[in-house]
Amino acid sequence: MKTLMDVQELQDRMISGAQTILLDVRWALGDPRGHEHYREAHIPGAVYVDLETQLCAPGGPGLGRHPLPDADALQESARRWGIDDGDTVVAYDDSGNLAAARLWWLLRNAGFPSVRLLDGGLAAWRAAGLDTEGGEERHCVGTVHLTTGHMPAVSISDLVQPSTVDVVLDARAGERFRGEHEPIDPRAGHIPGAVSAPTSENLLPDGRFRSRDELRRRFRALGADRGRVAVYCGSGITAAHEIAALDVAGIEASLFPGSWSQWSTTDGLPVAVGA
């Protein structure tokens, strides 16, 4: 199953009329105006996906900020986006797919294999000189059937047992990993034994993913080519991007959905600081 689709392939599919559901997952931490940005300009035919309400369950004590939605809720949303069984879904955003990768992971986890990330997202579409449109796009309600449990995931109990996971990657920025700056969660630092692996380093300056060989070298240097790998971030959003990058590199990895927002608010769990 391919992870990425480039702009040329997407354009060819659109011209040929191949059944493609385009989903715009415009979201960034600290910017609540994703839907507004979508209405101003998006790839023609793309449907807006609200990450906070459609790709997450409500947060709460001991759950983290962005818990995974349950299977029924995700299926209901997917049908509203117009997805039928057998469609190809292409997700994108305007931040190097840091948000869209959450949708990619959720649909893969729900047993929907034909979902791809538009490499470079909206920026790549614009760089190719292609038109955007404004307003709101809606499709007829789809009939897709989704389940759950098709992608590996780990919990806190898995991470506190050394025999369960061999390598834990922290996808947050280095200063958050080291505990120098924590803008959101109550404790600064990282899960003891984790390795700093900022998601931003998966990308080229233009927002496209690095090549398979580059990513393989990166993750090999982090020790992620040996044993069982788990990934976390602040709340489980950008960790999915790291898993997509690992997938491009040919490495399977498990998501820790609660991530640091769950670990740091759970009593009795240790916290490490520094490099």
Structure tokens at 220: 């090999």
* CA dist 125 → 12, 23, 89, 122 (Å): 13, 14, 16, 5
Question: Could you say which of 21, 78, 233, 240 is catalytic?
Answer: 233
56: annotated active-site residue:
no
Q: CA-based Rg of the chain, rounded to a whole angstrom?
A: 18
**251: closest CA among 236, 231, 272, 273?**
231
* Angstrom distance (rounded) from CA 142 to CA 34: 24
* Angstrom distance (rounded) from CA 29 to CA 15: 34
As separate numbers, helices (DSSP H) first and strands (DSSP E) second, the chain gives 11, 9
Cβ neighbours of 135 (radius 10 Å): 9
* Angstrom distance (rounded) from CA 145 to CA 72: 9
Give the catalytic positions in this structure: 233
